[in-house]
Amino acid sequence: MTESTRPLPIAITLGDPAGIGPETIVKAFRDAPDLTRGCFVAGDVATLRRAAAVVAGAGVALPVAVLASAQEALGCPPRCIPVWQISSAALAGAPPAAFGRVSASAGQLAGDCVIWAANAALHGEVAAIVTAPLNKAALSLAGPPYDDFPGHTELLQALAAAHLKTSVARLPVRMMLANDELRVVLVSIHVSLRQALAAVTYDQVLESLLITHRSLQAILGRAPRIGVAGLNPHAGEGGLFGREELDIIGPAVMAARARGVLASDPLAPDTVFMRARARSGHFGEFDVVLAMYHDQGLIPVKYLGVDKGVNVTLGLPLVRTSPDHGTAFDIAGTGKADASSLIEAIRVAQRLISGAPETERN
């Protein structure tokens, strides 16, 4: 096997060490041994060993192996957790972060893991990255460079832009949340509601439609059917409740259609998600919904199934997926965390790097 044809491992980032990320990682290796073969954790050995002990309870903890190279992960036996030890100032002689507490050191370690994994992916050393949840307050407390980024998506966008020697503005990305029943792409992400409303511009909506079209076409193997949510109640009711649908969203849809995008007219946001929902073997009317702001899209998709939800960043020159939940500080260290979403994120990452079109959802 030549260097160019050798398979590459998938890196799973630690997430905030004070949250449930390490526990869900351990459970993923325990409960999905075939799926996690060829994966490794970009993280901290001591934190993973503590998580393994928490998950094991009175039983035997899963072994945690220290890697000398990322490629060694491909040869690790099932239910062994391979770890690439991240060098971080946050670890300088300190014990693992206390469960459930926001801290600068925990935020720095989580961010350092993401930077290492992203750079490894950008340089072709890993096939994809799956990011366990980090805490945005802890990331901000960590200071430069992390306090410039409200979350994973913006940090990964900046790293990718720097790698490509371009500006962030020239590398637009979008967040897609998906579960078995619904996919949603967001026009804006982690900004205030007032800023999100201001972000509903012709250029932003058109760019979102084009990114969604390109990305889902690669995933599905065909042009996706995009349901476009209006911004206002009843999609503006012909201008009675606002003109954004008439003056901004509608014209952007028309421009996208001229480029081959299968997008609907702006639809009432209180019904478009139901029309897109796939249930009991019946496909929805749309493959994905373009939502105008964060909570408009995430409330329905999380309500339908946060335990199997996956976050996919569209537009990056690397494959990145993530579970659709946060750090859950309130249950960290109890062993109660559910790994289903992380397992599904690994599954989606593997499907994306294989290039095989996604089968229709049941």
Domain hosting residue 344, numbered range: 1-172+316-362
Residue 152, domain CATH: 3.40.718.10
Same structural domain, 301 and 320? no
pLDDT, tens digit (0-9, with 9 covering 90-100), for 92-138: 778 899 999 999 999 999 999 999 999 999 999 999 999 999 999 99
Same structural domain, 154 and 254? no
* The two structure tokens encoding residue 41: 């954790």
How far is 82 from 72, CA to CA, in rounded Å? 8
Q: Give the model's pLDDT for residue 150.
A: 86
Q: Give the model's pLDDT for residue 320.
A: 97
Provide mean pLDDT across the span 242-264: 97
Is position 311 within any domain?
no
**Distance of alpha carbon 180 from its chain centroid, rounded?**
16
Q: Give the model's pLDDT for residue 93.
A: 73
Contact 177, 310 (CB under 8 A): yes
Would the pLDDT of 266 be above 80? yes
Same structural domain, 79 and 220? no
pLDDT, tens digit (0-9, with 9 covering 90-100), for 31-83: 999 999 999 999 999 999 999 999 998 788 899 999 999 999 999 999 999 99
pLDDT interval class at 358 (50, 70, 90):
low
Is position 277 within any domain?
yes
Domain count, the chain: 2
* The two structure tokens encoding residue 267: 């639809």
Q: For tokens 């792409």, what's the residue?
A: 185
CA dihedral 262, 263, 265, 267 (to 10 degrees): 130
Q: Give the model's pLDDT for residue 283.
A: 84
Establish whether the linkage from the previous residue to 63 is cis, with ω within 30° of 0. no
Contact 188, 195 (CB under 8 A): yes
How far is 215 from 317, CA to CA, in rounded Å? 11
Is position 310 within any domain?
no
Q: Give the model's pLDDT for residue 2.
A: 45
For 200, counting Cβ atoms within 10 Å of its Cβ (0-12 exposed, 13-18 middle, 19+ buried), the class is buried
Would the pLDDT of 356 be above 70? no
